[in-house]
Each structure stands twice: as C-alpha cells, then as structure tokens.
Amino acid sequence: MRKPRVVSISAGIAVAMAAAFVAVFALAAPGYAAASDHYVALGDSYASGLGAGSYISSSGSCDRSTKAYPELWAAAHSPGTFNSVACAGATTSTVVSSQLSAVTSSTTLVSITIGGNDVGFSTIMTTCVLQGTTACVNAVQAGENTANTVLPGRLDTVYSGIRSRAPSARVVVLDYPVFYQLGTLCVGLSDTSHKKIDEGINLLDGIISAAATRNGVVFADVRSTFVGHQLCSGHDWLHSLNILNINESYHPTADGQSGGYYPVFNGYSS
C-alpha cells in the first residue's frame, strides 16, 4: 500500500496564499482590456475634455485633455491601441466627415458624446447669459424643436456609420449632465432659466437614448452621477460662466470627467 503523500504545513499555506493572490487579482481587475483591444473615442467637447485642463498641445483647437474620460480609461486599461479624435465644437456632421475614418474593422470599442452642438448649445447659453429670461426660454425652446425634428435622423446616421465600419465593436453612447441643481439659492440666471435649460438637456438626452436603442448601441447615462455636483450645488463638477475662459463655461471640470463620466463609461466598456 502506497504511503500517503505528506505536504508540509508551510508548503500548503504557500500554495493557498498563491491561489488567493491570483483570485484577488482577478477580481480586482476584471475590466482591464487585453492588448488586442482597440479603442476609438469620438465626439464633441464633452468627450475631448474641454474644461478639464491639461490639454494635449497636438490636439490644437480640439482641446483634447489628458483628463478627459477617454484618456482616463485608456490610461487605466492599457488597450492595444487608443485613438481619440473627439473635438470641441463637433457636430454629428463633422463626426461623419472627419472622425468616423478613425473607426475600422479592427476597432473593438467606441465611445461617443455628440448632439449638443447640433441643437445650438453654445448659442443657447450665450443668449441665456446676455439676454435674460424670456430670450433664454425662447432659445431653449428653439433648441428643443431642432432636437425633436432633425436630431434623431442625424444620430441614426452617426451610429449606423460606426456600426458599418466596426460591426463587432462595443459602441457606448454617453449623454450630457443636467446643469442645475434646482431649489437652491443660486446667483446668476433666473430659476425659470435654470428649469428650462435642465428641461432642454433632459429632452436631448432622451432623444440620444432612443437613437442608441434604435441602432443597437449602448446608452450610458451620466446624469445620476452628477446629482449633487451640478451648478448651484456647492460641489460643482461643471464650470459656471467663466469670463476669463469663455469656452470652458458649462463644461465638466477634471472632477466631472473623473467622477462623473469615467465611472459610467468604465461600467459599460466591457
């Protein structure tokens, strides 16, 4: 009869610790991308990181930031390739004409935030700041009308364009945070303007969500992560009106990118 194999207690402990280490490491990093993953970031200033600082000089007026959510994801996950062509001021048409070419059949992950400039985001906020409540309400309403009538078709073109170029890629569509925490004492625009602006953003996000569903891509809603960090909250993750750097006004700060956008995208990226 063969004698049973004797394993020393110290050896057994070492094996158990090694197994535990492997298990813990696997749980700690489930979302880390393989070297074969290829990630392309598309979109406007909310995707490029305008407002977050630390701009990449080679991006020029596109204002791509190392603190933007695509850059943060790439730094944390080390995909095989990463290319952000997101650009401040982009519309759905400029995504089609100048950004979609970055997406290829080898692309495995795409993120995009787009639509705000199609409905006149910059013009609306300028009107609200300079012309008062009535003009603000009218400007937002005009943007809502545009969003309802022309934006769905434009978003369909963008999302289907991504799908046709990279049929197997995971496509994640991120929306826009609601700007104002209502019901608080807040200087600047009137309560009526705050409510109308928030209404317009919610309508825009609803249209983006519906288009994502129609086209079989993932909709990632950032609004809940910004709750408690909107303008007038006292813990803002958005820039209010900044006369010294007007372009950054009403864009996420670095904290808004890392605390608002990044965790939402990270949750849907794999």
Residue 251 among the catalytic residues: yes
Q: Is 49 left (phi over 0), alpha (psi -120 to 50) or beta?
A: left
Angle between helices 151-165 and 191-214 (to 10 degrees): 40
Report angle CA 220, 162, 77 to the nearest 5 degrees. 55
Inter-axis angle of helices 151-165 and 133-149, nearest 10:
50
Query: Are 118 and 145 in contact, with CB atoms under 8 Å apart?
Result: no
Catalytic choice (38, 45, 77, 84): 45
Distance, CA of 36 to CA of 23 (rounded, Å) = 23
Nearest to 268 by CA among 174, 176, 175: 174
**Active-site residue, selected from the candidate residues 77, 194, 229, 251:** 251
Query: Which residues are designated catalytic?
Result: 45, 251
